[in-house]
Chains A and B, each alone.
Chain A
Amino acid sequence: MGKIHTRYGDGSPVELEESEVMRDLENGTQDAAERGNVPALSKEEIQHLFDIFSSPYRFVGVEPGKEIVLSYDGTPIKLSRTQVNVDRLQCLQIYEKLLGADTLEMGYLDYSFKPIKSMVTYEQPLIEQILSVTTAPVFYGAMPNLPLYTQPDGPFPNPAELLPQGKIEEARASYEESVEHAVRDIVYVSSALYECGADAIILDTVGAAGDADYLASLKATEVLKEKYPQMCVELGMAGEFVLGMHGEMTYNGELLAGMYPHEQVKVAEKAGVTIFGPVVNTNTNESSPWNVSRAITYMKACCEVANIPVHVNMGMGVGAMTVHDHPPLDMASRASKAMVEICRLDGL
């Protein structure tokens, strides 16, 4: 029995026995199946994952013909973080011409709809210029980021302060008012960018503040699709299940709190979302085989019930990608190949 070089969820390297890799693959899918009430992976799928992890090569890829489309979030921010001094227009040209990007994503450094609203007139001419010097579809992305609507950053009382005091109704009222304001800001900014020619809008990190955050995004999508029936809205989630911070918020009669990806995608479809981006969080204490197996179990169930394209989130710390600024290529490529080959997904 040989040893297999792999990683933990935080990216640190580890060598596991073949039996340990197989055990982690089985435990990972079982964990997702139990939590999400979805089918576990089959023996054949587990064996396929084992084959991917036991491959001796430092980098692996999907079989020809199984390639998928890539979309992005916070693209210009990536280059700013690494202190590459190019403007956002050049950043998108780099992604298009040098990084093999299928789609481009324009976004502001303060990546939330609320701060963008006050300076959207500066975003409009820039996206017009970007659209005139690129060929690939250009998305505009930002987060609903509901906490920006509560004190000290916004007008409403802070639920994080109210809840520990037992002020449940006051906290719920705050969330409900935040939703209405967030919907207005998302619609305002998205309309402004779409009317300048943007190909699509990305609502990113949806649900980071819980069910209210998700509801705001669904409602905003509904308004936007009513206003612009041709508009493409990509909705990317923040976590694997919707946190019930409010606890009683519903969309079309469906309780949002506690929804897993295969349930989230159905309400997203009802709201008019064009492309759905589900998330599974990476557990840093478990091995990469465990995380990959677990993530794929959730994503496979989501892809199977979806009627719209699904772009699984596989950025840092999600979709079994390691929680580190510099994802190791051995692990990232294995996660990428495994996710694409087992799920019937449409993009990453």
Chain B
Amino acid sequence: MGDPLGMAITHAVASGMGGMRAAGDLVARMQIARGMRIDEAKKYVADKLNVSVRDLTDPIIMNEVRDDLGLGILHPNVRSPKCMEAKFNIARLLDIEINCVNRFKEKASL
């Protein structure tokens, strides 16, 4: 229940990491793949991206970092890695298994 403005957007603005605007999806991946708690997950991602933990929620810094590393951004250019392509790069950079990436490779005989 609850309308998205009152619930999802409120939490995203008050406490969230910003998703793809910043590095929220990447930190979430470490909880999913390794069961890391928040501080460990943030540090792991920050180290891999060579940024500070505080930078992880900064959309200006993270947009540039994500664009440079091909991790997917909100407004991708024509040649920017997007979606599945970006997830290939995320899996490699974070050194994790991503289920759909592995299945894509398997089906495409990569």
- Report whether chain A binds chain B: yes
CB contact under 8 A between A316 and B2, given known A61-B15, A275-B31: yes
Q: Does B69 contact A (CB under 8 A)?
A: no
CB contact under 8 A between A100 and B7, given known A71-B28, A230-B99, A346-B37: no
Alpha-carbon separation in the docked complex, A60 to B14 (Å)? 6
Residue of A nearest to B101 (CB): A197
CB contact under 8 A between A332 and B6, given known A96-B19, A137-B25, A348-B11: yes
User: Would you list which residues of chain B between 30 and 76 have a CB under 8 Å from chain A?
Assistant: 31-33, 35-38, 41, 53-54, 56-57, 71-72, 74
Q: In the complex the two chains form, is A199's CB within 8 Å of B14's CB?
A: no
Q: In the complex the two chains form, is B15's CB within 8 Å of A232's CB?
A: no
Residue of B nearest to A91 (CB): B4
Chain B residues lying within 8 Å of A328, measured Cβ to Cβ, are 6
Chain B residues lying within 8 Å of A22, measured Cβ to Cβ, are none
B91 CB, nearest partner CB in chain A, Å: 11
Alpha-carbon separation in the docked complex, A70 to B74 (Å)? 18
CB contact under 8 A between A100 and B35, given known A61-B15, A64-B57, A135-B82: no
Q: Does A35 contact B (CB under 8 A)?
A: no
Q: In the complex the two chains form, is B86's CB within 8 Å of A135's CB?
A: yes
Chain B residues lying within 8 Å of A101, measured Cβ to Cβ, are 8, 12, 19, 24
CB contact under 8 A between A95 and B99, given known A60-B14, A309-B37, A316-B1: no
Q: In the complex the two chains form, is B2's CB within 8 Å of A62's CB?
A: no
Q: Interface with B: A12-20, A166-174, A182-190, A333-341, which one? A: A333-341
Alpha-carbon separation in the docked complex, A97 to B11 (Å)? 16
A75 CB, nearest partner CB in chain B, Å: 8
Residue of A nearest to B29 (CB): A137
Chain B residues lying within 8 Å of A135, measured Cβ to Cβ, are 20, 25, 71-72, 82-83, 86-87, 90
Q: In the complex the two chains form, is A103's CB within 8 Å of B10's CB?
A: no
Alpha-carbon separation in the docked complex, A95 to B18 (Å)? 11
Chain A residues lying within 8 Å of B20, measured Cβ to Cβ, are 96-97, 135-136
Highest count of chain B CB atoms <10 Å: which of A96, A134, A137, A332: A137
A196 CB, nearest partner CB in chain B, Å: 7
Q: In the complex the two chains form, is A321's CB within 8 Å of B12's CB?
A: no
Q: In the complex the two chains form, is B38's CB within 8 Å of A100's CB?
A: no
The contact of B32 among A196, A274, A317, by CB within 8 Å, is: A274
CB contact under 8 A between A274 and B1, given known A61-B15, A70-B16: no
B104 CB, nearest partner CB in chain A, Å: 8
Chain A residues lying within 8 Å of B36, measured Cβ to Cβ, are 309
Chain B residues lying within 8 Å of A308, measured Cβ to Cβ, are 35, 37
CB contact under 8 A between A340 and B15, given known A67-B57, A135-B25, A135-B72: yes
The contact of A62 among B14, B29, B82, by CB within 8 Å, is: B14
C-beta contact mask, A197-233 vs B, less than 8 Å → 1, else 0? 1111000000000000000000000000000001010
Q: In the complex the two chains form, is A78's CB within 8 Å of B84's CB?
A: no
Chain A residues lying within 8 Å of B97, measured Cβ to Cβ, are 230
Q: List 13 A-B contacts (CB under 8 A).
A: A70-B15, A70-B24, A72-B8, A100-B12, A100-B13, A199-B32, A308-B35, A308-B37, A314-B11, A329-B5, A329-B6, A332-B14, A336-B15
* 14 extra interface residue pairs, beta carbon distance < 8 Å, beyond A316-B1, A348-B15: A64-B54, A66-B15, A67-B17, A70-B8, A70-B16, A96-B20, A102-B28, A131-B84, A132-B100, A137-B32, A198-B100, A327-B3, A329-B5, A346-B41
